[in-house]
């Protein structure tokens, strides 16, 4: 046991009937950092989170949160964790405020303390105006925020976010990310599962990739991207007649790589860093080439998987029994 690890797991095994959900998963998250757990549906991400948050007992292996064993010291573990599930787990018939006050009461904050903490969180999550409305009237984004607020009532040291932004639009996703960043800035440790490489890249200090209940890669986001092959710059010149000149510029900014026409009128080239985007903008302006689309793409989860496993992540969905979420 290392003192500065907030989350540590060794050889976690969990079977559901014949489904081998986890087949020996190791995780280590230093205090005050974010671990992104990346994997396709059914990879075992949710099962791992449910074991770490004491909702399931593992069939094999062990895990500790802040040094406390998730099976033997489950009670102590529950005092220091916050859990936000893939599906908002607040009471829809209660108002936002009633939900947060209920959890505050259950967490022994006392009547006044629960009320104060609820008001604080409602304010922070911009839910004060909706505080006295039933949660079932909330929009998807509001419900997600309430759910996250509910998991923060007890000021937990370790926060589990199980696919916190699945189904949110990009702006709402950005808001969630800011929340996660300020939690970590405040000293919390976050374990985040996601299907989006982009999300893991934006938030995580380290990324663990899980597939078929096994860890198939563990690295920093940059390290992982190096394995997978960096980013792709995509450009659509306004005038298709400029395709050849555009391709020439792309070859320059990517230090020699050949640009391919990946869709009709769209050129793509692999680039090694973000600077390629600004550089290409400057060069297009100098050359007088107008562009209607210009974007920088991280390798998709599909590509990560393809590189790591030789299979595509999405094809995997159809052949795996779905993750046990209930």
Residue 161 and residue 148 in contact, taking contact as beta carbons nearer than 8 Å:
yes
Q: Which residues contact residue 112 at a Cβ distance below 8 angstroms, ignoring those fewer than 6 apart?
A: none
93 near another protein, judged by CB under 8 A: yes
Q: Are 289 and 300 in contact (CB under 8 A)?
A: no
Tell me, residue by residue from 227 to 246, as one string, x for binding to another protein by CB under 8 A and - for no binding: --------------------
DSSP string, 253-289: HTTTPPPEEEETTEEEEEESSTHHHHHHHHHHHHHT-
Q: How many chain residues interact with another protein (CB under 8 A)?
A: 55
Which of 92, 222, 274, 293 touches another protein (CB under 8 A)? 92
Tokens of 85: 């599930």
Q: Which of 15, 41, 79, 309 binds another protein (CB under 8 A)?
A: 79
Q: Which of 43, 51, 83, 192 binds another protein (CB under 8 A)?
A: 83
Integer angstrom CA distances of residue 242 from 177, 250, 279, 289: 38, 12, 18, 7
**The one among 121, 159, 203, 301 contacting another protein by CB under 8 A:** 121
- Residue 54 as a binder of another protein (CB under 8 A): the answer is yes
Residue 27 forms beta bridges with which residues? 9
Residue 78 phi, psi dihedral angles, 5° rounding: -65, -25
User: What three-state secondary structure class fits 47?
Assistant: helix
Q: Which is nearer to another protein, 79 or 309 (CB)?
A: 79
Among 137, 178, 278, 292, binds another protein (CB under 8 A): 178
CB of 104 to another protein, least distance (A): 9
Among residues 108 and 261, whose Cβ is nearest to another protein?
108
What mask, x for binding another protein by CB under 8 A, covers residues 267 to 306?
Answer: ----------------------------------------
Distance (Å, whole) CA 201 – CA 173: 13
DSSP code of residue 199: H
Residue 179 binds to another protein (criterion: CB under 8 A)? yes
Q: What's the rounded Cα separation, in Å, for the pair 163 and 152? A: 16
Two tokens, residue 247: 């391709």
- Tokens for 69, please give them: 């064993």
Q: Site mask, another protein, residues 137-166, x = CB under 8 A?
A: --------x----xx--xx-x---------
> Which stretch, 20-28, 116-124, 241-249, 280-288, contacts another protein (CB under 8 A)?
116-124
Residue 70 in contact with another protein, rule: CB under 8 A? no
Hey, which residues does 10 pair with through a beta bridge? 62
CB of 85 to another protein, least distance (A): 6
- 108 vs 260, beta carbon nearer another protein: 108
Question: How is residue 151 annotated by DSSP?
Answer: H
CB of 146: closest distance to another protein in angstroms? 12
* Per-residue burial over 166-200, b = 16 or more CB atoms within 10 Å of its CB, e = otherwise: eeeeeebbebbbebbeebbeeebbbbbbbbbbbbb
Binding site for another protein (CB under 8 A): 53-55, 75-76, 78-83, 85, 87-94, 98, 102-103, 105-109, 113, 116-117, 120-121, 123-126, 134, 145, 150-151, 154-155, 157, 171, 175, 178-179, 182-183, 185-188, 326
């Amino acid at each position: 046991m290392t003192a500065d690890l907030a989350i540590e797991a060794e050889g976690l095994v969990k079977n559901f009937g014949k489904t081998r959900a986890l087949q020996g998963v190791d995780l280590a998250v230093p205090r005050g950092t974010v671990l992104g757990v990346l994997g396709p549906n059914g990879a075992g991400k949710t099962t791992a989170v449910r074991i770490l948050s004491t909702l399931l007992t593992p069939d094999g292996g062990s895990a500790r949160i802040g040094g406390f064993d998730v099976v033997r010291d489950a009670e102590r573990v529950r005092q220091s964790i916050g859990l936000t599930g893939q599906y908002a787990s607040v009471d829809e018939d209660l108002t936002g405020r009633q939900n947060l006050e209920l959890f505050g009461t259950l967490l022994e904050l006392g009547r006044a303390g629960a009320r104060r903490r609820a008001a604080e969180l409602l304010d922070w999550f911009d839910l004060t105006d909706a505080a006295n409305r039933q949660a079932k009237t909330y929009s998807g984004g509001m419900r997600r925020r309430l759910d996250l607020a509910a998991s923060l009532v007890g000021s937990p040291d370790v926060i589990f976010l199980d696919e916190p932004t699945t189904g949110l639009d990009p702006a709402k996703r950005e808001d969630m990310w800011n929340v996660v960043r300020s939690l970590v800035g405040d000293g919390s440790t976050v374990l985040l599962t996601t299907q989006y490489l982009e999300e893991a890249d934006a938030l995580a200090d380290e990324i663990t990739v899980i597939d078929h209940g096994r860890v198939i890669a563990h690295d920093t986001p940059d390290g992982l991207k190096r394995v997978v092959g960096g980013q792709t710059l995509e450009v659509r010149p306004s005038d298709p007649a400029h395709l050849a000149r555009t391709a020439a510029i792309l070859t320059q900014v990517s230090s020699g790589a050949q640009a391919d026409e990946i869709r009709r009128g769209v050129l793509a080239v692999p680039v090694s860093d973000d600077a390629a985007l600004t550089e290409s903008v400057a060069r297009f302006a100098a050359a007088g080439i107008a562009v209607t689309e210009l974007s920088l793409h991280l390798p998709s989860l599909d590509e990560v998987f393809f590189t790591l496993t030789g299979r595509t992540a999405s094809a995997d969905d159809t052949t795996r029994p779905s993750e046990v979420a209930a």
